[in-house]
Copies of this chain bind each other. A is one copy, B any other.
Amino acid sequence: MENQDVDRTLELLWRRKLGVPQGSRGPKQRVSVDEVIRAGITVADEEGLPAFSMRKVADRLGLKLMSVYTYVPGRSELIGLMVDEAIGEVPHPPHEGPLRQRLAGVARHLWDEYHRHPWLLQIESSRPWIGPHGCDRYEWQLAALEGAGFTDLEMDQLVTLIGDFTAGSARTSVAARATAERSGISDLQWWEVNAPILDRVMPPGAYPLGGRVGTVAGQEYNAVGDPDRSFRFGLDRLLDGVELLLRERVES
């Protein structure tokens, strides 16, 4: 990655504040950077990040493949721009009510976002591009914690905690949905294929706890799992723990 591309991409990320530095000569661009980014998001929404390709973005825009490279430096930079755009899509609601409710709101916002744009969970690189909406996001998350009595360091750690848990949980949820949709095979059908083979292969009685708990959970969920319910259960435990941290502080 050239330093030049870094500059270029940061300029594109902050283009609304900077104004587009477009030279006046030459043919006009047929589409805009925003349209390229939106097209990219649509492709990624529909097919996921591994199947996301520059050609599909070009097709959707009515351009030929190589023209896309005159708008963005390359595939990974485009994905960086798509991320910041997706983060800014739904405005952050102002925080209301007690701490617990505010943090639950943050988590739910992220959870919904991951379900709207599952490909956000398929991005690997840390060192994300620092864009305006990403900055807004961090500020908004911290605002939910401000004034509650945490140290600055704890505020950062709590933002990380809620983000990590929500991402992990959403990943399970989104993967379940995608597998069901893409394969066209329901949880039930899948078990019908696997069960007879596993019966043949598993030593009987080898998994007493797994058998007992798996059966109960399966009946309760009426499926292999219930991701939204797991998310709420986990979030409740997690927020209990966060409140406890504060309560100990007040008492001492």
Which positions in A face B, CB cutoff 8 Å? Answer: 1, 3, 6-7, 10-11, 14, 17-18, 48, 50, 122, 124-127, 130, 135, 138-139, 142-143, 146, 152-157, 160-161, 163-169, 171-172, 175-176, 178-179, 183, 190, 193-194, 197-198, 201-203, 206-210, 212-214, 216-217, 220, 225, 229-230, 233-234, 236-242, 244-245
Contact = CB atoms under 8 A, between A and B. Distances in A.
Instruction: Kindly report how many copies of this chain are found in the complex they form together.
Output: 2
28 contacts: A6-B194, A6-B197, A7-B197, A10-B198, A10-B201, A50-B50, A122-B124, A125-B179, A126-B178, A126-B179, A127-B183, A135-B207, A138-B214, A139-B208, A142-B210, A152-B216, A153-B217, A156-B214, A156-B216, A157-B230, A157-B233, A160-B172, A163-B168, A164-B172, A164-B234, A165-B168, A167-B171, A237-B245
Given A212-B152, A217-B153, A240-B244, A190 B127 contact: yes
